[in-house]
């Protein structure tokens, strides 16, 4: 996760009056490279709509458009006690979510457990044993039962498994590849549900896996639970993604299930992979370097232009290029720290954009402390403008995915639930994204935005629990599409 500093007072406007001509020329060139105008936004969005459709087809496309087997929204009247397990790159979070009779309300108890580094590259069994141990500790502490086997009913659990996985059922998930620093042999290509269930059964825990979910799908469902105008869930953080509700009849690749055409099914887009073919995205030479030097060149092209993991690296690559080849910024100084790949993250740009002082003194102190570089005022002005350009481009391009879903589904008005460190903490990201949506969808000026992107509910905790609740509700109603193992659910 991108780690941002606390928000500070509003940033100042800045002035280029004292910037030398050669630096001004470089700033103008950077503005040309990184500015995405209205026409380009619309072009990207139109291609996005086409690619969303292609992802739903039998043949498929770059965007996976994974069916999640979450068949509809909660109505707000779900009740009961549910567990949620959130497995990320740094922590393991265990939650107990209580859904009372009041519509759209919930109570949550949660504990976090550090994910030991040695587990990330260790043995598969050790990983699942550790997860089961944490779950057991949580249940024993909060239920104060000496013998867990005596609990009358098993607690339904929603498991947020935030790694790329394909699902033939809501309660299974075949790991496509490890990410986030994990590299455990023998798990890729395997269904992780039985591995987890075996560790649970070994301890005789009163738990039933009801659903394996992606955090973006959880964000959609949790946000709709408290606000029924939410129709899209998004993540803008270390990565980027969106989920929305489609009609089964509009998903040709699941036609062989013979589901009612108007039955809803949540689609996990995984649209960080948009435009892997490099047809329409306005890539700069720096974007090309990021892609070519990445572990998987040619993949996640959209994500590499807008996600928090890459914003700092874009900034770093530009400054190194300016120093070595263009206008000799930081001339005569040791920039060895700046040459280290991925040494800067999105919080570095965030800090620069929030510097409230006309002389950019806080930015100067940041460069001195973190990079050992003493930048003069014109160089600081260039850095400030570069941070604004990169942050603005990310926000504007991020709006294209939301606009594309709205155009595909003919959504005229809705709320969009967004989560992730970049959305929540990067300065001006929300406002810049909203402005881009206005330009793409041609809304009239002076009226409230029909599509409003706002902070989401807890997708990986509350969302996971709600999806477990929805799965049980479907089993009771006899709607078993996409559910593998109904034993113990009712």
| 416 DSSP β-pair partners | 232, 453
Tally of CB atoms within 10 A around 305: 27
Query: What is the C-alpha to C-alpha distance for residues 43 and 404, in angstroms, rounded to an integer?
Result: 11
Active site residue: 86, 191, 215, 275, which one? 215
Query: What is the C-alpha to C-alpha distance for residues 205 and 147, in angstroms, rounded to an integer?
Result: 10
Active site residue: 177, 203, 339, 438, which one? 177
| Tokens read off for 311 | 């914003």
Residue 337 DSSP one-character state: T
CB-based burial, 452-472: b 16+ in 10 Å, e otherwise: ebeebbbbbbbbbbbbbbbbb
| Tokens read off for 83 | 């567990």
Query: What is the C-alpha to C-alpha distance for residues 81 and 78, in angstroms, rounded to an integer?
Result: 10
Active site residue: 162, 347, 350, 398, which one? 162
CB 214 within 8 A of CB 63: no
Active site residue 177: yes
Q: How far is CA 170 from the centre of its chain?
A: 20
Query: What is the C-alpha to C-alpha distance for residues 103 and 81, in angstroms, rounded to an integer?
Result: 15
* Residue for token pair 């700069």: 284
In degrees rounded to 5, what are phi and psi of residue 322?
-60, -40
Query: What is the C-alpha to C-alpha distance for residues 42 and 399, in angstroms, rounded to an integer?
Result: 10
Query: What is the C-alpha to C-alpha distance for residues 234 and 471, in angstroms, rounded to an integer?
Result: 22
For residue 341, CA distances in Å to 112, 305, 336, 348 come to: 31, 16, 11, 14
Tally of CB atoms within 10 A around 382: 24
C-alpha radius of gyration, the chain, whole number = 24
CB 330 within 8 A of CB 373: yes
Q: Is 490 helix (H, G, I), strand (E, B) or coil?
A: coil
**80-87 and 66-67 beta bridge pairing:** unpaired
Report helix angle 308-321 to 285-292, nearest 10. Answer: 120
**CB-hemisphere CA count at 13 Å for 317?**
18
| Tokens read off for 67 | 């069916």
Angular region, 191: left φ>0, alpha ψ -120 to 50, beta rest? beta
Which residues 6+ apart lie within 8 Å of 48 measured at CB? 271, 274, 400, 401, 403, 404
Active site residue 162: yes
Nearest one of 461, 468, 464, 441 to 452, comparing CA atoms:
441
Which residues are tagged catalytic? Answer: 162, 177, 215
């Amino acid at each position: 996760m991108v780690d941002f500093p606390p928000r500070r007072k509003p940033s100042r406007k800045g002035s280029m009056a004292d910037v030398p001509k050669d630096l001004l020329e470089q700033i103008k060139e950077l503005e040309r490279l990184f500015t995405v105008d209205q026409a380009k936004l619309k072009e990207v969005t139109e291609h996005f709509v086409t690619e969303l459709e292609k992802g739903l087809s039998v043949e498929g496309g770059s965007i996976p458009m994974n069916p999640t087997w979450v068949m509809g929204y909660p109505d707000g009247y779900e009740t009961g006690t549910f567990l949620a397990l959130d497995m990320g790159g740094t922590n393991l979070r265990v939650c107990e979510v209580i859904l009372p009779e009041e519509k759209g309300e919930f109570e949550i108890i949660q504990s976090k457990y550090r994910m030991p580094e040695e587990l990330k590259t260790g043995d598969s069994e050790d990983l699942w044993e550790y997860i089961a141990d944490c779950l057991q500790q949580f249940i024993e502490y909060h239920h104060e039962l000496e013998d867990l086997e005596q609990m009358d009913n098993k607690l339904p659990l929603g498991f947020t498994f935030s790694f790329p996985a394909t699902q033939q059922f809501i309660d299974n998930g075949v790991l496509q590849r490890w990410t986030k620093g994990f590299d455990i042999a023998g798990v890729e290509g395997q269904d992780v549900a039985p591995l987890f269930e075996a560790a649970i059964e070994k301890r005789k825990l009163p738990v039933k896996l009801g659903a394996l979910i992606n955090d973006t799908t959880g964000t959609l469902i949790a946000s709709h639970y408290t606000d029924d105008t939410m129709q899209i869930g998004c993540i803008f953080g270390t990565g980027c993604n969106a989920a929305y509700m489609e009609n089964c009849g509009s998903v040709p690749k699941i036609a062989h299930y013979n589901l009612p055409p108007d039955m809803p099914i949540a689609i996990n887009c995984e649209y960080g992979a948009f435009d892997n073919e490099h047809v329409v995205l306005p890539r700069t030479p720096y974007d090309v370097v990021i892609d070519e030097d990445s572990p998987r060149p040619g993949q996640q092209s959209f994500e590499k232009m807008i996600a928090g993991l890459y914003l700092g690296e874009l900034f770093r690559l530009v400054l190194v290029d300016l120093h070595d080849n263009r206008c000799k910024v930081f001339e005569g100084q040791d920039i060895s720290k700046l040459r280290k790949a991925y040494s800067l993250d999105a919080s570095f740009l965030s800090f620069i954009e929030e510097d409230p002082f006309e002389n950019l003194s806080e930015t100067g102190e940041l460069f001195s402390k973190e990079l050992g570089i003493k930048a003069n005022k014109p160089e600081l002005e260039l850095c400030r403008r570069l941070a604004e350009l990169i942050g603005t481009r990310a926000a504007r391009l991020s709006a294209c995915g939301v606009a594309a879903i709205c155009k595909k589904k003919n959504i005229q008005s809705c709320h969009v639930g967004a989560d992730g460190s970049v959305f929540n903490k990067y300065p001006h990201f929300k406002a810049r994204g909203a402005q881009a949506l206005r330009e793409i969808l041609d809304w009239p000026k002076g009226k409230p935005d029909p599509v409003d992107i706002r902070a989401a509910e807890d997708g990986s905790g509350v969302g996971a629990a709600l999806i477990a609740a929805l799965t049980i509700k479907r089993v009771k109603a006899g709607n078993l599409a996409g559910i593998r193992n109904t034993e113990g659910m009712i």
